[in-house]
Amino acid sequence: MKKVLLTVLAVVIMLSLCGCNQMDDVQKVYCGAAHSGALDEDGNLWLWGDNFFGQLANGKKTTIKDDVTVVENNDAYSPVLTFENVKDAALGNGFTLVLFDDGRLLSYGRNDMSQLGRKDDADECILTDVIQVSTCTHTSAAVTSNGDLYVWGKSIAGYDGEVETVDTPTVVAKNVVSVSVGGSHLAYFDSDGKLWGLGYLANLGPGYDTVNVFVTEPMLISENAKYVSCGSQTTFYIDESDVLWGTGANGFSGSVGDGSGEWWIYDYREVARDVKEVYGNAAMYLSNDGMLYAWDELSDTIKFRDENGEETGGQVGEDPIATYGPTPIEFLGGMKNAAGSGSHSIAVDEDGYVYTWGLNTFGRLGNGKCTVLERKLLFDDGEYTEYEYDKTVDEDVKEPLKIR
């Protein structure tokens, strides 16, 4: 018996030493502005990256002085198991929302614009009976089991644009089954399968030129949609024929992905076909055959290849090359989910392996490394201050890197 116990103990020690307490069989990935996350098949939520606001939900924060000197570094450069029994999560700009299997929704991190939906010293649980959650930048939304759609944070969709923040979750629609949040707008499906929009009108595809108008009553977007994802100033949906449509701010880099180069697109344009999922904030989509495609300058931290295999752009650094239409990301076939922040991206393949690429300040790529920036003063007249940042340690990643 002693021999058996010693053998078991030795195996446990060996498993611990070999680092087996790591992400395994990841099902879904998340990107905040500078932190990241992954959910495995057992409901374990892993977080890593920036922890300045306590968004890693470990009870600690990274502290600095003079806006640049690190006093106590509690950032995580590799994935850390943070919660168990998790159903889903949503990562914003400096905050994290965690949805547990029992329907509780908890919030952690930045709260200067009511991102947490509660006061700083209040209980972390802000809603119960939640079935789905979404966030973008400083705005969030959640759907409860009875079909109520709650919103909170900055630039709340459903208000007139004059309300800067809503401090606690507030119902703006009913009979809702799922939602996707953009920077100042959102889109949701009702129980009849119709897609509706609220918030900044120009981001919702009204079909005509408009500016500074907020939709406070639901606007019908489509009766033929089955999947929706909002970016900061864009909205994308996939129809029943697997065609991807997009609208909103196109800019000089082609954020909508229709290839037109128009500054703003007010109607829905076809972006691609044979599409399974779209990730609006990342300017990426997943095809039915598992290939990941990207477009826009927001995807400037990857390397693209044209049909002949020649590199066409996607460098890290200055003067990024814009891609006005979807372009396949090299090496990323057999994918099942992805996410992006505009500065870094994550994807997970069918075997549960995770890939990251892009900027790596604060260790947001989860590969155990970190890009270090040194701030230098360029100009200060007492009213306006300008800085530049030099990379003293460059650990940015230009091609998808497997971290698990």
Model confidence at 380, pLDDT cuts 50, 70, 90, reads confident
Query: DSSP 3-state assignment of 15?
Result: helix
User: E-assigned strands of 101-243?
Assistant: 105-109, 125-127, 130-136, 139-144, 149-154, 165-173, 176-181, 185-190, 195-200, 214-222, 225-230, 234-239
pLDDT for 397: 87
Name which of 249, 269, 274 is nearest 342 in CA terms.
Answer: 249
pLDDT at 319 over 60: no
90-128 confidence digits (pLDDT tens): 999 999 999 999 999 999 999 999 999 999 989 999 999
- Domains of the chain, by residue range, sit at 22-402
22-402 carries CATH number 1.10.3720.10? no
pLDDT at 316 over 50: no
Higher pLDDT, 161 or 60: 60
pLDDT at 394 over 50: yes
pLDDT at 320 over 80: no
pLDDT for 191: 97
Spatial contact of 237 and 187, defined as CB atoms under 8 Å apart: yes
Average pLDDT for the chain: 85
Mean local confidence (pLDDT), 317-330: 59
CA-only gyration radius of the chain, Å = 21
Taking CA atoms, 36 is separated from 213, 262, 362, 392, 402, in Å, by: 33, 32, 10, 23, 15
342-374 confidence digits (pLDDT tens): 889 999 999 999 999 989 999 999 999 999 887
**CA 68 to CA 117: how far, in whole Å?**
29
193-250 confidence digits (pLDDT tens): 999 999 999 999 999 999 888 888 999 999 999 999 999 999 999 999 999 999 999 9
Model confidence at 323, pLDDT cuts 50, 70, 90, reads low
Strand partners for 178: 189
With 0-12 / 13-18 / 19 or more C-beta atoms within 10 angstroms meaning exposed / middle / buried, residue 374 is exposed
23-73 confidence digits (pLDDT tens): 899 999 999 999 999 999 999 999 999 999 999 999 999 887 665 567 788
**CA 348 to CA 354: how far, in whole Å?**
4
1-18 confidence digits (pLDDT tens): 433 333 333 333 333 333
Model confidence at 335, pLDDT cuts 50, 70, 90, reads very high
pLDDT for 202: 95
